[in-house]
C-alpha cells in the first residue's frame, strides 16, 4: 500500500475534501455556490484569501480529471458542506458518486453517496459504519487491510496510520481515486456556499 497523503499535515486540524463527478461549476452549484459568485485563483493560497461581501462558507474547487472535481473547505464551524448527506445526495444524483472526508480536532469521518443515497459512512478511528448499505464495501475494505465494522482484524499498514490518513485510504478504496499532492496545486475556482 502506498502511504496516503497527509491532509492534516497540509491543512491542519480542520478541513473537508469532497470528490464529485461533474465539472467545477456543476459541483459547486450542487454545494449551493451561485455560479455568478465563482472567481478563479491561480493558487490555493490565493483562492483561500478571497473574500466576498456576502456571507457563506468558502469552497475552493478544481478539476482533477475528466469529469472529476475536488472541493476543499477549511471552515467547519457551521458544519462541513461537503459532508452534509443532502449535499452528497445532490452531487451523487447528477454524477453517480460523491465522497467526502473531513477532520475536526477530535473527529474524522468519510461519507460515500451514490445515486442520491448516502450508501455508507466510516469512522476511521473506530471503523464503525452507517448508511443505507453500511456493509456494501466491507469486503473491499477488508481486502485493503481495514478491520471489520467491529474493529476486528486489519493490517498493520492501515492500523499504523492516523485516522485522517485512514480516511484518505478508505476514500481511495471506495472511489478508485488516489489523492496526491499535485491535485492541490494549480488553478482553483472559489465561491461562498449559501449552505
Report d(CA 128, CA 164) in Å as an integer: 15
Query: Is residue 189 a contact partner of residue 60, using CB atoms and an 8 Å limit?
Result: yes
pLDDT at 75: 86
Q: What is the pLDDT along the chain (195 residues), one digit of tens a residue?
A: 679 999 999 999 999 999 999 999 999 999 999 999 999 999 999 998 888 877 788 999 999 988 999 999 998 888 899 999 999 999 999 778 999 999 998 899 999 999 999 999 999 999 999 999 999 999 999 999 999 988 889 999 999 999 999 999 999 999 999 999 999 998 999 999 987
Query: Is residue 101 a contact partner of residue 113, using CB atoms and an 8 Å limit?
Result: no
Report d(CA 5, CA 7) in Å as an integer: 6
Report d(CA 60, CA 140) in Å as an integer: 31
Query: Is residue 77 a contact partner of residue 102, using CB atoms and an 8 Å limit?
Result: no
Amino acid at each position: 500500500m502506498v502511504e496516503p497523503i497527509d491532509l492534516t499535515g497540509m491543512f491542519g486540524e480542520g478541513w473537508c475534501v469532497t470528490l464529485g463527478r461533474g465539472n467545477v461549476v456543476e459541483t459547486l452549484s450542487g454545494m449551493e455556490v451561485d455560479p455568478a459568485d465563482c472567481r478563479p485563483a491561480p493558487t490555493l493560497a490565493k483562492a483561500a484569501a478571497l473574500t466576498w461581501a456576502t456571507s457563506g462558507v468558502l469552497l475552493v474547487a478544481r478539476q482533477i480529471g475528466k469529469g472529476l472535481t475536488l472541493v476543499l473547505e477549511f471552515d467547519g464551524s457551521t458544519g462541513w458542506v461537503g459532508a452534509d448527506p443532502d449535499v452528497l445526495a445532490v452531487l451523487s444524483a447528477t454524477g453517480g458518486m460523491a465522497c467526502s472526508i473531513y477532520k475536526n480536532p477530535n473527529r474524522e469521518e468519510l461519507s460515500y453517496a451514490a445515486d442520491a443515497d448516502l450508501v455508507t459512512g466510516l469512522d476511521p478511528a473506530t471503523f464503525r459504519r452507517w448508511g443505507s448499505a453500511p456493509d456494501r464495501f466491507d469486503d473491499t475494505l477488508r481486502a485493503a487491510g481495514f478491520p471489520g465494522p467491529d474493529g476486528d482484524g486489519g493490517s498493520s499498514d492501515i492500523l499504523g496510520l492516523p485516522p485522517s490518513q485512514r480516511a484518505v485510504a478508505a476514500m481511495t478504496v471506495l472511489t478508485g481515486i488516489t489523492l496526491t499532492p499535485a491535485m492541490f496545486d494549480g488553478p482553483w475556482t472559489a465561491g461562498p456556499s449559501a449552505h
